[in-house]
A and B are shown apart, each in its own frame.
Chain A
């Protein structure tokens, strides 16, 4: 069902364009990670606070307080943002799927225990939990991955639990049970394909929230330490505006804006295509 929906989505122009924007960011991040694209962000390319100059790629976004290329910083920041988004989604999806499915499928005391755990974690406001985890794990990328994974799986698990409860009474599962299909096979072979669209949707939003949170954590000084990130660029830029230096903040804002916009719009199209109720 969801493969058909995906095909339908990407036959339209707008979601396809969004996918290309996201692909562009992925390629930039990939080049930054593996081919040293923008790796020279740490070496000054000129005097401090040079305004944007279009004669040189590295000077397109001007320089920062140490004369470093803001363009290179934005590129390296893309790498940090995307790695956070993707790693968080990849790590927390299995956790969310496992707890959501187990909780909804088996019910009983397992369900009560998992629901208790989920309710407990979601009683701590997300931003505080993020701050607390990345603070106690000792500032840095690993701490950010762990903090975001620890907070992201919760909503997925809750959504899936609800979905599984809905599907549990459906004929196809009862039929599977009656012909003697085991629990694991019933969950993974029969149930999971029917709720995959929910997982895809949740992961889209997970990536968006993770990237936003990374910017916030880096801004608070809890995030990535030795690499530029959009959050750190904004942090650097907060004192610059009053002196008329607008390019560092604009660079980080525009980069983040295009990525967020593409993910948001694509997410909307996916939801419309995947959620039968939204087709109004």
Chain B
């Protein structure tokens, strides 16, 4: 296993390098002068020169790239251009709020959609299944922004069931503030999750071992809960794991609408303020977290599923 872990880590080095190359090229080459991006088209020449010096943009590109790699390794991304905060501290302080929104949301969504998907696929082809499918396509087709705006307006402003926005470091108050964003987040993802899980479950139901289980007289419920559920966990886990990096990124929109001081909200703020260093750092850090998660998942798979051997890659 350790051999596999090390090999998998080594394999992610070129990917890490690729990501840093792409991000660097995006922010330093594609858009022309980053200082102009930051200051806007009407900046004076002196301001541009100042910003260039401050961000080290006057150095040759190769040195800028080395500087950038150093930033990644030391996790020191300098300061935000607009707020002057140290980006590293900013990111670290944002992780808590983001995770307290995204982790409960992910667990609730997965639990609910898996349960509903099991029920729906048990009755597949019957009217419950058909009605449910149409309903979940309806849920999926509404724009995400509409959920947030209408949810906030109706449930918080009109009915007063939830606070309109805010955040607290105190745990019980935090739950009070986060309840509505969590509910909206669940609604946002429920439709597509259920459809995916339903398909994965139905794919398992048509396998031979299910027929065998039925043939030996097991009840349909037992077949579903014991055999089908277990085997359809592989696509389900893959699906959930893909969302893990987004746990850290959080929901850009939910965080910014509910004034949750997390990573997602910061990213939106950075876009609005044209905060070049913050945007670059966010893109880099979250991509690296994504790569690390994929490595861990691959290792976990091999621990969980004995059919995948450690010997071969892929």
Closest Cβ of chain B: how far from A113's Cβ, in Å? Answer: 10
Binary CB contact string for chain A from 191 to 222 against chain B (1 if under 8 A, 0 otherwise):
00000000000000000000010011001111
Q: A136-B31, A220-B271, A261-B141 are in contact. Are A120 and B249 (CB under 8 A)?
A: no
Contact yes or no, B31 A137, CB < 8 A: yes
The answer, among B30, B137, B271, for a CB contact under 8 Å with A137, is B30
Bound complex: CA A137 to CA B257 (Å)? 26
Residues from chain A with a CB closer than 8 A to the CB of B274 are 135
Query: Does B146 sit at the interface, judged by CB under 8 A?
Result: yes
Residues from chain B with a CB closer than 8 A to the CB of A260 are 140-143
Bound complex: CA A137 to CA B37 (Å)? 9
Closest Cβ of chain B: how far from A1's Cβ, in Å? Answer: 21
Residues from chain A with a CB closer than 8 A to the CB of B280 are 132
Output the nearest chain B residue to A268 by Cβ-Cβ distance.
B137
Q: A124-B287, A257-B141 are in contact. Are A132 and B149 (CB under 8 A)?
A: no
Within 8 A of A (CB), among B1-50: 14-15, 18-19, 21-23, 26-27, 30-32, 34, 37
Residues from chain A with a CB closer than 8 A to the CB of B26 are 132-133, 136
Closest Cβ of chain A: how far from B185's Cβ, in Å? Answer: 15
Q: A128-B267, A128-B287 are in contact. Are A116 and B15 (CB under 8 A)?
A: yes
Contact yes or no, B141 A120, CB < 8 A: no
Binary CB contact string for chain A from 111 to 136 against chain B (1 if under 8 A, 0 otherwise):
00000110111011101110111011
Interface size class of B (residues with CB under 8 A): 35 or more
Query: Does B252 sit at the interface, judged by CB under 8 A?
Result: yes
A-B contact count (CB 8 A): 133
Q: Find the residue from B27, B205, B287 having the highest chain A CB count within 10 A.
A: B287
Contact yes or no, A253 B143, CB < 8 A: yes
Residues from chain A with a CB closer than 8 A to the CB of B137 are 261, 264-265, 268
Query: Does B153 sit at the interface, judged by CB under 8 A?
Result: yes
* 17 cross-chain CB contacts under 8 A: A119-B15, A120-B15, A120-B22, A124-B283, A124-B287, A127-B252, A128-B249, A131-B267, A132-B23, A132-B26, A135-B37, A138-B32, A221-B272, A222-B271, A249-B146, A249-B150, A264-B140
Where the two chains meet, the residues of A that have a C-beta atom closer than 8 Å to any C-beta of B are: 116-117, 119-121, 123-125, 127-129, 131-133, 135-138, 212, 215-216, 219-222, 230-231, 234, 237-238, 241-242, 249, 252-253, 256-257, 260-261, 264-265, 268, 277-278, 280
Where the two chains meet, the residues of B that have a C-beta atom closer than 8 Å to any C-beta of A are: 14-15, 18-19, 21-23, 26-27, 30-32, 34, 37, 124, 137-138, 140-146, 149-150, 153, 157, 199, 202-203, 205-206, 245-246, 249, 252-253, 257, 267-268, 271-272, 274, 279-280, 282-283, 286-287, 290-291, 294
